[in-house]
Amino acid sequence: MSITYVALLEWITFVTALAYVYFAAQKKLITWLFALISVGLTFYLDVIGKLYIESGLQVFYFAMAIYGWINWKKAEKNDLLITRWSIQLHLLNIFASAFLALLVGYIFDNYTEQSTPFLDAFTTCFSLVATLMVVKRVIENWLYWIFINVGMVVLYMNNGFEILAAQYGIFVVLALYGYWSWNKSFKLQA
């Protein structure tokens, strides 16, 4: 049985994305190399799957991977500490991300052939700040990723990308691990 080109790309994306999240939980610089590879491949798969909002997010992820690499590289010299956000900042983020998701979902639902526009908009809009939180080592990023990744499982299952859906299912578990690992480091640095 031969594997299709798209399935092969899904598997490569699967492996590199898992490596990215695992190494992020470990706070390793190699995180960002795996991010660049998986993001590039995911961008291509999203475009051919007509997940345009998600493909736009991959462009943002690519830029954040470069920024993350630079930020964490500088931090190797003087350890970048894990931080927490205030409840007010989280509430502002949740309100703003939800509003933006509804707006983007509405636009893509009414003016494009976007598949599952509101779910894609939700995962995309919340991912923007969650990604920045990873780069800045804000511990609660992992809590956001738990919910985002559950949404991604549904998004990719609904669009026939079973391997990517499985990848995001594993990401849910890795996000739990990431939160535990960063929380342990946070307590040690205090």
pLDDT digits (tens, 9 = 90+) for 35-69: 999 999 999 998 988 888 889 989 999 999 999 99
What's the confidence (pLDDT) of residue 2? 52
Residues 81-114 pLDDT 10s: 899 999 999 999 999 999 999 999 999 999 988 8
Contact criterion met (CB below 8 Å) for 43 and 56: no
77 confidence band (pLDDT: 50, 70, 90): low
What's the confidence (pLDDT) of residue 160? 87
Picking from 86, 87, 82, 90, the residue whose alpha carbon sits closest to that of residue 184 is 82
Residue 162 scores a pLDDT above 70: yes
Distance, C-alpha 48 to centroid of its chain? 19
CA distance 167 to 65: 19
Residue ranges in 26-51 assigned as alpha helix (H): 31-48
What's the confidence (pLDDT) of residue 80? 74
What's the confidence (pLDDT) of residue 139? 96
Which residues make beta-bridge pairs with 138?
Answer: 83
What's the confidence (pLDDT) of residue 165? 93
**Rg from Cα positions in the chain:** 16
What are the helix and strand counts (H, E) for the chain? 7, 0
Residue 3 scores a pLDDT above 80: no
Structure tokens at 131: 């990604």
Torsion of CA 18, 169, 172, 121, to 10 degrees: 100
Give the residue carrying structure tokens 């799957």. 49
Contact criterion met (CB below 8 Å) for 108 and 52: yes
Residue 74 scores a pLDDT above 90: no
Residue 75 scores a pLDDT above 80: no
Cα 47 to Cα 36, 153, 170, 179: the distances in Å are: 17, 18, 23, 31
What's the confidence (pLDDT) of residue 1? 38
Residue 161 scores a pLDDT above 90: no
Phi and psi torsions of 79, nearest 5°: -25, 120
Mean pLDDT on 160-180: 92
Domain boundaries, the chain: 5-189
190 confidence band (pLDDT: 50, 70, 90): low
Average pLDDT, the chain: 91
What's the confidence (pLDDT) of residue 189? 84
